[in-house]
Amino acid sequence: MSISMPHSDLIDASGWLSTARQLSSPNCDPRPEGMAIELIVIHNISLPPGVFDGDAVIDLFTNQLDWDAHPYFQGIRGLKVSAHFFIRRDGTLIQFVPCTLRAWHAGASNWQERDCCNDFSIGIELEGTDDLPFTEAQYATLAPLVHLLKQAYPIRAVVGHSDIAPGRKTDPGPHFAWRRLDENIA
């Protein structure tokens, strides 16, 4: 991703980031009327688990996953999910849902006594697992992205999926360097 000096004008009025590869996901819908974007939720994903660099995540988010391509996919058959952004291991940034729409990334969730975090959050998926560190390239893309989103929207917090769905979700996992992210977006 080439956001060296983040500027909110990189995000157009509909919520698309001009520096991201754009692949539209059908798994989104309008946010509730007047809902401000106040939260960024960090996730991790790999399909099948622990396999990187294939297109299964892209295919899942665009409803094109071949459910018969791997035995693991049978357990998620028919799942309709998305995220606003996906950061590959090499730092490539893909946007699936414009920020102005609600992506389906958080599921049953709660933040500061507010349910349905999808209504007021932006979801960022990192290609990875709970068991492995994320790459330098991913942090080099993530930090300026978060900084940019904080300039463009009234973001109040950046949290992990585990923070808004404790007991149900564990991502981004123990290897995610929160301190490093905080230091690079200040």
Q: What is the CATH number of the domain that holds 106?
A: 3.40.80.10
Residues linked to residue 95 through DSSP beta bridges, in sequence order: 22, 85
At 8 the pLDDT is 62
At 2 the pLDDT is 39
At 185 the pLDDT is 84
* pTM beyond 0.75: yes
Which residues span the domain enclosing 21?
8-185
Domain count, the chain: 1
Mean pLDDT, the chain cut into blocks of 10 residues (186 residues total): 52 96 98 97 98 96 97 97 98 98 97 97 98 97 97 97 97 97 86
Considering the domain boundaries, does residue 39 fall inside one?
A: yes
Considering the domain boundaries, does residue 166 fall inside one?
A: yes
Considering the domain boundaries, does residue 73 fall inside one?
A: yes
Considering the domain boundaries, does residue 180 fall inside one?
A: yes
- Among 125, 127, 136, 183, the one annotated catalytic: 125
Considering the domain boundaries, does residue 2 fall inside one?
A: no
At 25 the pLDDT is 98
Considering the domain boundaries, does residue 3 fall inside one?
A: no
Q: If you compute the radius of gyration of the chain from its CA atoms, what whole number of angstroms results?
A: 15
- Our answer to whether residue 127 is catalytic in this structure is no
Q: Are strands 93-95 and 101-103 parallel, antiparallel or unpaired?
A: unpaired
141: exposed, middle or buried (C-beta count within 10 Å: 0-12, 13-18, 19+)?
buried
At 5 the pLDDT is 34
Considering the domain boundaries, does residue 1 fall inside one?
A: no
CB 19 within 8 A of CB 8: no
